Structure 1
Amino acid sequence: MTQSQTIHATCVAWNDRAVLIRGGSGSGKSTLGLVLMGMGCSLVADDRVIVMRNDDRLLARAPDTIRGLIEARGIGVLNADPTAQAQVVLVVDLDETESERLPPRRVVTLLGSDVPLIHAVDGPHFAPAILQLLKAGWSDR
């Protein structure tokens, strides 16, 4: 059985591995999504993301009405070549700021699935670190 819900977020993907970027209005969800797109990620959805649980996979896709569109604050709504859907492997919460150098592993539960969660980090390495997590995950060493 497939469950789904619509979340106020931005979602971009590297290949089939997606990050769901959530936070309040004006927190920088679309901005971070655009930065990651500039680094080679593809747009899944901006503003509203449909998240579906299909067996053990958590998938994200855009509502038809906004597929291929992303807002750039102060510039307007931009076109993008969207990815139809991707597996959510990471959630970024921009409403929370990380204070620890090596934070504990956190998870958030979406539709009954636990997904790794990271908080916002103030620094130029934040977007590249997210991209590297999408590409290769965390080290266990």
Structure 2
Amino acid sequence: MSETVLANVTGVAIGGRVLLIEGPPGAGKSSLALALIDRGATLVGDDAVTLDRRGEAVHALPPPNTAGLVEIRNVGIVEMPTTHGPVALILTLDPAAARFPLAIAERTLAGIAVPALPFVPGDAVQALRAEAALQRHGLPLPKAGEKA
């Protein structure tokens, strides 16, 4: 499959798995990504990621035109190191997200079903909640020997 660029999505890698954060402009995608980067995550892409199916996983890579750049509100555009990896979870920033998810939806990216979770943005512990969501609901890393 050829690579495609997914817009309005910020991606970070945590423990080898990529967490995609989606939402409209100003929703807090970059803010959540920065909070996660502060806790040890690595940037994949800010406001866009490149998707590439590899075997039974869809990988997120830095986007070609803005690789390594992230917007820090009220500061400007700064450079950061990037990485890539298999997509494990999509968080959709939504102030009306249910407090307790009764079912986890799935979205299809490059022919692969990926868990998708509505996620309230902007509170002081959102990075901790995002890490917990990835741990509990995210896809595992591909097994050794699978094409990565």
Superposed CA deviations along residues 90-134 of structure 1, whole A, max 9, x for unmatched, are 001114632242431211111211101111225444321222344
Aligned residue pairs total 135
**Normalising to structure 1: TM-score of the pair?**
0.85
| Helix, strand or coil at the partner of 1:66 | coil
What is the CA–CA distance in structure 1 between the aligned matches of 2:113 and 2:88, rounded to whole Å? 9
Name the CA shift for 1:107/1:96 in 2 (closer, same or farther; >3 Å).
farther
Structure 1: where are the runs of 5+ without partners?
A: none
Q: Does 1:6 find its partner at 2:17?
A: no
Q: CA deviation at 1:55?
A: 1.6
**1:70 correspondence with 2:70:** yes
Q: Does 1:98 align with 2:101?
A: no
CA distance in 2, matches of 1:59, 1:92: 16
Alignment of structure 1 residues 19-98 onto 2, 5 Å: 19-83=19-83, 85-95=84-94, 97-98=96-97
Kept in 1, the 8 Å contact 2:20–2:91? The answer is yes
Distance 2:94 2:34 in 1: 18
CA contact (8 A) 1:50 1:61 kept: yes
Identity of aligned residues (%): 30
Instruction: Answer 1 or 2: which has greater strand percent.
Output: 1
Aligned-partner Cα distance in 2 for 1:93–1:55: 25
Inter-partner Cα distance in structure 2 for 1:25 and 1:46: 11
Q: 1:80 to 1:48 in 2, by over 3 A?
A: same
Q: Unpaired runs of 5+ in structure 2?
A: 138-148
Alpha carbons 1:4, 1:111 under 8 Å: kept: no
The root-mean-square deviation of aligned C-alpha atoms, in Å, is 1.8
Q: Distance in 1 between matches of 2:96 and 2:102?
A: 11
Counterpart of 1:119 in structure 2: which amino acid? P
| Of 114-123 and 67-76, the range deviating more from structure 2 | 114-123
Residue-by-residue CA offset, 1:43-69 (whole Å, 9 max, x unaligned) = 011111101112201100112332211
Q: Which residue identity does 1:115 align to in structure 2?
A: V
- Secondary structure of 1:71's partner? strand
2:126 corresponding residue in structure 1: 126
What's 2:111 paired with?
A: 112
Identify if the C-alpha distance between structure 1 residues 4 and 95 changes in structure 2 by more than 3 Å, giving closer, same or farther. Answer: farther
Does the 8 Å CA contact 1:95/1:120 hold for their aligned counterparts? yes
Give TM-score, length-normalised by structure 2: 0.81
